[in-house]
Amino acid sequence: MTTWPTGVRGLAWGADHNPEQWPESVWAEDVALMRRAGVNLVSVGIFSWALIEVEEGRYEFGWLDRALDRLHEGGVRVDLATATASPPPWLTTAYPEVLPETAGGVRLSHGSRQSYCPSSGVYREKAVALARALAERYREHPALAAWHVGNEYGCHVSRCFCDRCAVAFRAWLRARYGDLEPLNEAWGTAFWSQRYGSWEQVLPPRATPSLGNPGQLLDFDRFSSDALLELFTAERDVLREVTPGVPVTTNFMVTWTFGALDYWRWAAEVDFVSNDHYTRAEDPERHVELAFSADLVRGLAGGRPWLLMEHSTSAVNWQRRNLAKEPGELRRNSFQHVARGADGTLFFQWRQSRAGAERYHSAMVPHAGPDTRVFREVERVGAEYARLAELVGSTVEASVALVYDWQSRWALGQPAHPTADFSYQDHALALYRALWRAGVTVDFVPPGADLSGYAAAVLPALYLVDDATPYERYVEGGGRLLVTYLSGITDGRGHVHLGGYPGAFRELLGVRTEEFHPLGEGAAVALDDGSTARVWTEDLRTEGAEVLASYADGPLAGVPAVTRNDRGDGAAWYLACGLTGDGLDRLVRGVLAHAGVPRGPEGVEVVRRRGERAGAPVSWLVAVNHGGGDAELPAAGVELLSGERVTGRVVVPAGGVVVVRGEV
Ligand code: GAL
């Protein structure tokens, strides 16, 4: 199986390229500028269904032939889209069933993009037919490097509630439960008279007078992720049949928006993992959130190289205030992804559109043309990437694991939990920030993964847990495990584990909580070690664990807030409250010290990739300085961007980047 876009030399570098938005007279300049910028891979045709299949069954490939030929002549490889992300108006007009429906029964119109229902047989048939037509047309095209199926599945329409989805949901439930009785049991339908007596009564969780059923909501999330995945695999299978040597991907979006897909399941189905990431311009720590995304993508890729399919050179157009990136920021962003295992980074998009909803979104070639700061920065990074080809195929070294679970995220995102102030994603990110500030590299792993290779592991709010045995074994074998509140509370169906919280983890952690005590809006509680908790506290008793900190004030004064339970050769910490800033840093650093994990340097982001060069093991230290002052690091070898020898120390300039190849 081919697991990387073919024929791309060195790190991949390029963008979404939408030649259909421009007269052909612009295309020659495009390719000339791509060469100047060192572009070697572009994604073509993602939103061009209406221009390829101009009416039902009538294909016009001429323009695409010419665009691909020209790219090939320019030495640019093509990640060719199946163009199915945006059904054309002729399709949804002729077959309104293709259009998705909201929980409130509103049918969404064409006129934007992604206006399709995942359960529409017509959509699937037409999408697969288009994928086949493209595969047959371009199977021998010399520019074809990879297939790009759909685009960001679930980005706009991640859940559809129409009658077709009701039928598909029932089929999915039958496969899961076999019978109605286990479904009634799993959903707890004895509550509020919801018992189902026949399959026809079972519906998607449509708009209801009050709170919906948590089991139904959770299963609908699972179903919806699977339903979209089936669309992807239907196209993928045709592509694999017609062009077996061409790898297939679809671009994930692992951190932003609502986490609609269970990417652990998706990652198993792509030939290589690709991801889109956009920073939140007004977040002063946006580079840390970027690092989180990149590490999570590497986890999905199973540690193998992955591709950043999209980010932006500067401003986007969909935030409330679309701030331009700072000079040097697109470079730092690009190198951060490479540091964390990307073997290439692409942008949305090549040339800034002059019409359409995204005309104020930045691109490699801005409205103002190539004589711009943005294009000069693009050229610079393109030239630098050309010096880093030796990194391709190397892997990232990490000593700490973070267990990330989309299904717990869905469950905790449902209404009617003890507080609306808790966000799974923010919580996981807060823990990640503490690890990032400690300078350690983190691998993301799925629930139940083997943790034995990691000195320490973190479980942020792992809510849905049938069985804590893998974590018990990890700790007994010497692992250091930090478990946070809202972990182990329910089984996989969302049924609460009885006998006290945190349910499945009580024994491992040596604690028992009688009652949750979420805090009021903006409220804070002091701990006796000087730290502060917000959002969450709980009334906890130890049952064997050692108390590391207790509440110093409030209704729970004297109650343990942070504990550690030594077990076997390892130890398990329980964080029972929403510890903030410094307090969280201290806790995380304490766990790392206990595990013997060395801390990285302060103030500069450092990641090590390891691989081989001329048969000998080498490593590359990639350092990104997000601060305003120069930083110094111990290093020896060759700094690849300048070509200079490094003997003992290397300076990472303010806002800059270094890549040092070392012998070990
Ligand atoms: C992504 C999408 C691109 C473009 C981009 C703008 O979600 O895949 O097509 O819309 O956002 O930031």
Q: Name the residue with the closest Cα to ligand 1, atom 9.
A: 348
Asked if residue 425 has a cis previous peptide bond (ω within 30° of 0), the answer is: no
Rounded to the nearest angstrom, the distance between the alpha carbon of 348 and the centre of ligand 1 is 6
| Residue 26 burial (CB count, 10 A) | 12
Rounded to the nearest angstrom, the distance between the alpha carbon of 349 and the centre of ligand 1 is 9
| Residue 500 burial (CB count, 10 A) | 15
- Alpha-carbon Rg for the chain, nearest whole angstrom, is 26
The DSSP line for 564-587 is EEEETTEEEEEE-S-B-HHHHHHH
What region, left, alpha or beta, does residue 323 occupy, with left being phi > 0 and alpha being psi -120 to 50 degrees?
beta
pLDDT score at 256: 72
3-class DSSP assignment, residue 12: strand
Rounded to the nearest angstrom, the distance between the alpha carbon of 123 and the centre of ligand 1 is 22
First to last CA, the chain: 31
Residue type, 147: W
**Helices in 99-189 by DSSP H: which ranges?**
121-138, 163-177, 180-187
pLDDT score at 602: 82
3-class DSSP assignment, residue 469: helix
Q: Are 511 and 502 in contact (CB under 8 A)?
A: yes
d(CA 403, CA 299): 10
Q: Are 520 and 512 in contact (CB under 8 A)?
A: no
3-class DSSP assignment, residue 606: strand
Residues with Cβ < 8 Å from 198, sequence gap 6 or more?
180
Indicate whether residue 279 lines ligand 1 (CB < 6 A): no
Residues with Cβ < 8 Å from 663, sequence gap 6 or more?
616, 618, 636, 637
d(CA 98, CA 141): 32
Q: Which residue has the tokens 């209704």?
A: 555
Indicate whether residue 315 lines ligand 1 (CB < 6 A): no
d(CA 180, CA 580): 45
Fold of 605-663: Immunoglobulin-like (2.60.40)
Sheet containing strand 274-276, strands side by side: 248-249, 144-148, 77-81, 41-44, 12-17, 342-347, 306-310, 274-276, 251-252
Q: Are 124 and 186 in contact (CB under 8 A)?
A: no
d(CA 27, CA 78): 15
> What DSSP element (H or E) covers 274?
strand 274-276
Indicate whether residue 525 lines ligand 1 (CB < 6 A): no
Q: What does CATH list as the number for 400-595?
A: 3.40.50.880
Residue type, 375: F
pLDDT score at 401: 98
Task: Using the atom order of ligand 1, give the atom closest to the CA of residue 309.
Answer: 8
Q: Are 81 and 44 in contact (CB under 8 A)?
A: yes
Indicate whether residue 278 lines ligand 1 (CB < 6 A): yes
d(CA 655, CA 198): 63
Nearest of 409, 385, 546 to residue 486 by alpha carbon: 409
d(CA 470, CA 605): 32
3-class DSSP assignment, residue 505: helix
d(CA 261, CA 410): 10
Summarised one tens digit per residue, pLDDT across range 550-579 is 999 999 999 999 999 999 999 999 999 999
Indicate whether residue 156 lines ligand 1 (CB < 6 A): no
Where in the chain are the domains?
Answer: 12-161+204-396, 400-595, 605-663
Rounded to the nearest angstrom, the distance between the alpha carbon of 539 and the centre of ligand 1 is 45
d(CA 392, CA 510): 46
d(CA 203, CA 301): 35
Q: Are 232 and 214 in contact (CB under 8 A)?
A: no
Task: Using the atom order of ligand 1, give the atom closest to the CA of residue 152.
Answer: 8
**Which tokens belong to 546?**
């050692």
Indicate whether residue 226 lines ligand 1 (CB < 6 A): no
Rounded to the nearest angstrom, the distance between the alpha carbon of 150 and the centre of ligand 1 is 12
Which residue among 155, 276, 349 has the greatest number of ligand 1 atoms within 8 angstroms of its CB, and so is best to mutate? 276
List C-alpha distances in Å: 443 to 294, 301, 308, 322, 594.
10, 11, 17, 31, 19
d(CA 70, CA 17): 13
Rounded to the nearest angstrom, the distance between the alpha carbon of 500 and the centre of ligand 1 is 45
Q: Are 262 and 302 in contact (CB under 8 A)?
A: no
pTM, two decimals, is 0.98
Q: Angle at Cα 630 formed by Cα 627 and Cα 632, nearest 5°?
A: 115
Nearest of 584, 418, 434 to residue 513 by alpha carbon: 418
Indicate whether residue 316 lines ligand 1 (CB < 6 A): yes
Task: Using the atom order of ligand 1, give the atom closest to the CA of residue 151.
Answer: 8
CATH class, range 12-161+204-396? alpha beta
d(CA 565, CA 569): 11
Give 36: exposed, middle or buried? Use CB within 10 Å, 0-12, 13-18, 19+: middle
Q: Give bridge partners of residue 635 from the DSSP assignment.
A: 648
Indicate whether residue 15 lines ligand 1 (CB < 6 A): no
Indicate whether residue 472 lines ligand 1 (CB < 6 A): no
Rounded to the nearest angstrom, the distance between the alpha carbon of 119 and the centre of ligand 1 is 24
Q: Are 600 and 606 in contact (CB under 8 A)?
A: yes
**Which tokens belong to 19?**
């030649």
Indicate whether residue 358 lines ligand 1 (CB < 6 A): yes
Q: Which residues are catalytic?
A: 152, 310
d(CA 249, CA 230): 14
Q: Angle at Cα 622 formed by Cα 621 and Cα 624, nearest 5°?
A: 140
Summarised one tens digit per residue, pLDDT across range 120-161 is 999 999 999 999 999 999 999 999 999 999 999 999 999 999
Q: Name the residue with the closest Cα to ligand 1, atom 5.
A: 348
Q: Are 35 and 27 in contact (CB under 8 A)?
A: no
Domains 12-161+204-396 and 400-595 share a fold: no
Q: How many residues does the chain have?
A: 664
Indicate whether residue 348 lines ligand 1 (CB < 6 A): yes
Q: How many CA atoms lie within 13 A of 480 on its CB side?
A: 17
Rounded to the nearest angstrom, the distance between the alpha carbon of 581 and the centre of ligand 1 is 33
- Number of helices (H), then strands (E), in the chain: 17, 28
3-class DSSP assignment, residue 79: strand
3-class DSSP assignment, residue 264: helix
Task: Detail the DSSP E strand segments found in 6-140.
Answer: 12-17, 41-44, 53-55, 58-59, 77-81
Query: Within the chain, which residues score under 50 in pLDDT?
Result: none
List C-alpha distances in Å: 523 to 342, 427, 520, 582.
41, 17, 5, 17
Q: Angle at Cα 195 formed by Cα 191 and Cα 198, nearest 5°?
A: 165
Q: Name the residue with the closest Cα to ligand 1, atom 3.
A: 348
Q: Give bridge partners of residue 16 from the DSSP assignment.
A: 43
